[in-house]
Structure 1
């Protein structure tokens, strides 16, 4: 079936990274290609009874409803009646725990931004149509990359991540490198409340290195490579932890560095002091990011969702 109309239920707003990357940005790309796409609700609040009735009356046979990380079990009856009407349902996930069986049974499509998460869904639901679609880069910088002995971590700051960053901050001081954090947490070095995307990315691009460590837990191993790719598109040199999605993008020493041990972090910083190697890595990284433009990634969405 070729779906003619797309409707969205998003878990957050445009300041929420996953909602923006997997929701608003894809919706806008659909509209740009004359695909009828409409966001019905965004935010963390559960749907009211009145909203559910309105959705049920609005959608028709052949329409496609996309749930972006909406995992609340209170959606079961709505999904049940939508399926009776002939509405197709797609689900996007990027985090653990994976969605509950009681909801998954209604999904026609499942989209995951990392191969490992896709494999987990496919293992648990072998009969479901599950697709890995990598995240698209949001912004490409045209400014000259910064050269300084400064590294930035940007993203959500959990306690485990703060502890990891603080340990690396201490380590980096050995070779006179500074580390700052940029997050929507008040205790970040650089808060990003109410910033536009371009402002945020311009600040990140003022640092030579994007520091993207991973926490030693199961959830981290299922993450996508969106921060790695975005960093490459800004001209930053990526120093990242070792998970499958990062290895898919980064070839160690060629377009960035994969680091697990203290020696590997320090060695990477020393290597990029060589200007020829630094310029090569930045160029290779930028070229890598070009493979993940929204114009290229959106074609995978359109094909998989039969739009």
Structure 2
């Protein structure tokens, strides 16, 4: 018989006791699912001596549980929409996850695709595994979209998980955010859009700058570059923003501005430098002025201040178009310059010919963003959000009566990671990227190493990829067209060898 004190009432105790359905060899392995619940009311004098925590009054029990919950760090599961080359996934996902780990938070990446994710790689059956693994903890969905993501968010919320949706773009057709408990945006304009359209709760957490210069390095910049022939303007951006450069490029072709040179860093084919984190840092260090032209429209207006903040953090004076997040961060004439029309751009470039003015603006801007946009500061904001959400009372009870065992947790994690990689491999085959497909299968085999069922699934996907790779190679490299029966025979031989 297993007794649990339920409630104290004067000199009597309402007592729960569980009668197991079968014999228990080891009471420490007793499972709550193998029990029948009974209630009884017994005088204190007739009760066996109870452990100290069971004899405690309800108020003291509550205070103890409150103290333990205050000490508890939240557990956070991340479902990201892209790899580290995607700025939003890197800044709002990978960076925050890594620094939460350094602060002792149990943060886990459950979905980290090797490319931009259009659809979830899991089938609908994986919803059960995910809800069971996450329990009542926090699940972050970063820019996921589509009906599968919407169904998953709904299932997680129903099971008692705290769902957080991160978005930084205006996509009115995306309904996933409205299925989550909280929406987090890096700009107030986007946050207001979600508030006005009925999101449950909306918060604003800024994007951090990824790298910084020291004040001494900023001073040295103006000393070393005083004798250079041309002032370098630096533009860093995605190829989708390439058209915003056209007015500036036309202006720089005017004879008056022949002493300026524009350097572009992007994934656009016409960029001067191909984008990577290393090249961005190198080019920003070598340039004199950061430029961020903008275009009109609400899609541009909801953007975060990250692009100008990164220039300010590296010690560059900035000329930028006017959007709400930029105006909240930068003060015209004090920490940067705003320009929308060609004449405003001409005036700004004339002002920044003066090295003393460039030094003044960059120094003021660096001081302005140093505290608010440092990675430590932003991670603290995120930790505050997660701790606040974790401390709230759970609206929905969890699906399971008790926490899952460590072994079951490992199995569920391996299942989700393995099947995600198998989904990525299938998508890589559709993209005709055989190297990426094999890399995904390699990770899948690693995750499935100790689980026979998952190993069998991975082996099947490996054979499928081998057949596809063989056919693909023959199609591309054969000097003659092979009959289909020969191709199938070669594929069968590859299958037997694998």
Which TM-score applies when normalising by structure 2? 0.57
CA distance in 2, matches of 1:253, 1:59: 49
- Asked if 1 retains the 8 angstrom alpha-carbon contact of 2:236 and 2:280, the reply is no
How far residue 117 of structure 1 moved from its aligned partner, in angstroms, is 0.4
Say if 2:234 is the partner of 1:152: yes
How far residue 304 of structure 1 moved from its aligned partner, in angstroms, is 2.0
Q: Alpha carbons of 1:51 and 1:211: their partners in 2 closer, same or farther (altered >3 Å)? A: farther
Q: Secondary structure at the match of 1:80?
A: helix
How far residue 51 of structure 1 moved from its aligned partner, in angstroms, is 4.6
Q: Alpha carbons of 1:245 and 1:53: their partners in 2 closer, same or farther (altered >3 Å)? A: same
Q: Alpha carbons of 1:204 and 1:55: their partners in 2 closer, same or farther (altered >3 Å)? A: same
Partner of 2:204: 132
CA distance in 1, matches of 2:210, 2:359: 23
- Which structure has the highest helix share of the two? 2
CA distance in 2, matches of 1:99, 1:25: 28
Say if 2:179 is the partner of 1:106: yes
Say if 2:192 is the partner of 1:119: yes
How far residue 53 of structure 1 moved from its aligned partner, in angstroms, is 4.3
Task: List per-residue Cα deviations over 1:70-129 (Å, max 9, x = no partner).
Answer: 12221233233322321110000000114644x344311110001100111111116x22
After TM superposition, the structure 1 = structure 2 runs for residues 213-232 of structure 1, keeping only pairs within 5 Å, are 213-232=293-312
Partner of 2:133: 58
- Asked if 2 retains the 8 angstrom alpha-carbon contact of 1:11 and 1:68, the reply is yes
Q: Which moved more, 1:50-59 or 1:104-113?
A: 50-59
CA distance in 2, matches of 1:3, 1:47: 30
Say if 2:264 is the partner of 1:188: no
How far residue 184 of structure 1 moved from its aligned partner, in angstroms, is 1.6
CA distance in 2, matches of 1:181, 1:53: 47
Task: List per-residue Cα deviations over 1:115-161 (Å, max 9, x = no partner).
Answer: 100111111116x2211111111100233336451112111122xx4
CA distance in 1, matches of 2:317, 2:87: 21
Which TM-score applies when normalising by structure 1? 0.90
Q: Secondary structure at the match of 2:294?
A: coil
Number of aligned residues:
299
Partner of 2:246: 166
- Asked if 2 retains the 8 angstrom alpha-carbon contact of 1:135 and 1:225, the reply is yes
Partner of 1:86: 160
Partner of 2:348: 268
Q: Secondary structure at the match of 1:179?
A: strand
Partner of 2:151: 77
Q: Secondary structure at the match of 1:216?
A: coil
- Asked if 2 retains the 8 angstrom alpha-carbon contact of 1:172 and 1:266, the reply is no
User: Which protein shows a greater Rg?
Assistant: 2
Partner of 1:209: 289
- Asked if 2 retains the 8 angstrom alpha-carbon contact of 1:230 and 1:289, the reply is no
How far residue 198 of structure 1 moved from its aligned partner, in angstroms, is 4.1
Q: Which consecutive residues of structure 2, in runs of 5 or more, have no partner in the other structure?
A: 1-68, 391-498
- Asked if 2 retains the 8 angstrom alpha-carbon contact of 1:98 and 1:121, the reply is no
- Asked if 1 retains the 8 angstrom alpha-carbon contact of 2:163 and 2:182, the reply is yes
CA distance in 1, matches of 2:121, 2:311: 36
- Asked if 1 retains the 8 angstrom alpha-carbon contact of 2:209 and 2:310, the reply is yes
Partner of 1:4: 74
Task: List per-residue Cα deviations over 1:224-273 (Å, max 9, x = no partner).
Answer: 00010000011111110011110111111111111011121111111122
Q: Alpha carbons of 1:167 and 1:104: their partners in 2 closer, same or farther (altered >3 Å)? A: closer
CA distance in 1, matches of 2:142, 2:87: 12
How far residue 185 of structure 1 moved from its aligned partner, in angstroms, is 2.2
Say if 2:381 is the partner of 1:300: yes
Task: List per-residue Cα deviations over 1:267-293 (Å, max 9, x = no partner).
Answer: 111112222222111101111220210
